[in-house]
Amino acid sequence: MAPGQLFVPIVAERDGHDFIPMAVAAGATAYLTSKDVDAAPGVAAIRVPDTAVALADVGRAARRRLPGRVVGITGSVGKTSTKDLLSGVLASTYRTAASEKSFNNELGLPLTLLGAPDDTEAVVLEMGARGIGHIATLCDIAEPDVGVLTRVEGVHLELFGSIEAVAQTKGELIAALPDDGIAVLNADDPNVLAMRSRTSARVLTYGLSSGVDVFASDVVLDEQLRASFVLHTPWGSAPVALGARGEHQVPNALAAAAAGGGLGVSVEAIVAGLAGAALSGLRMELLTLDSGLTVINDAYNANPTSMAAALRSLARLDARRRVAVLGTMAELGPSAPAAHREIAALAESLGIDVVAVAEPDYGDGVTHVVDVEAAADALGDVGASDAVLVKGSRVAALERVVALLGS
């Protein structure tokens, strides 16, 4: 809390009403409540039937204060990186607000809208989902003018049940767009491209091959894993040098370029915005430790697609030995054992040793350890000419391995 803020208690595993006295002591000047709570002098207690619903309603009110150029981004992978890249592109031309970190649900999205300054000219909103109807609910709050859909993958199948359900849910963003809106679709993913039938909005396609609206040619990576390419758009072409690392960031940059161009950002400003955009933390951070060891810290999250991309990035580094410290890929449902074995097989084909942390599904042929301390110990013989990737789903919190290696 900061003085002057509104406190919204959420009832979940813990009841946020229990923290109202702490919020008031920290300077809250008002709070929502669905219970009878003793109000402190000078602090407004605003009674509502449901505090989470009220937060969404306040988010709707905040959205109506904003002009157009509200962009929603969803997809199975690449949402946050695309959000970061598009924020950089739009900020080159407009006063821009964007979701912090991965504030992409029914709590984070209203907070982003509420936090947008009064003079905001563009807003970029990441939209996540854990079931059918979730994206539609977020769109009801945000009323996006532009929808960006990155990919539809077999991620979170434990929650969705099928890739068809994933596609149905992600497509709720495209279906919610107004007739004068813009749908930005990944032409390299047939499930995404099929979403054009769900909207009457203008469609802009992007991909890695020609024949689409926005595409890249001549993609190369430098020794720091930063991609450069020639950007081709309906508004002109230009060379791009990304600050973001990994070849898998190129499609995300193309999505950002398409959305930015559709909203009137010049090609020159798009190039500058992509070059200067900073990704959220724990995503493809390339570190050199005091020992000289090179570390890719990509520990924020993991799924089969992003895991494969990170392994291929590690394989491109000039190193004597390459090791991947891998945690679980969560919420894959029945496909989890096979998906983990496939990642282990890919690592082997790339000449990468694997240290699996508390995840037996990676199978034989890898080093299995029980926790992050054991993982750091297993890496004890790596040195200045070696490279290590650290990656797993958020529940694994494998950034702790990086901290131990650097201590």
**Binding site residues for ATP, as ranges?**
75-81
Q: What is the SS3 assignment for 115?
A: helix
Quick one: which H or E segment has residue 183?
A: strand 182-186
Q: What is the SS3 assignment for 357?
A: strand
Angle made by CA atoms 150, 156, 162, in degrees to the nearest 5: 90
Backbone torsion region of residue 292, taken as left when φ is above 0, otherwise alpha when ψ lies between -120 and 50, otherwise beta: left
DSSP per residue over 35-49, as a string?
Answer: S--PPPTT-EEEE-S
- Compute the Cα dihedral for 52, 57, 62, 68 and give only its sign: positive
- Compute the distance between CA of residue 216 and CA of residue 311 in angstroms, rounded to an integer: 22
Order of strands across the sheet that contains 30-33: 6-7, 30-33, 44-47
Annotated binding site: 75-81
CA dihedral 295, 300, 306, 312 (to 10 degrees): 0
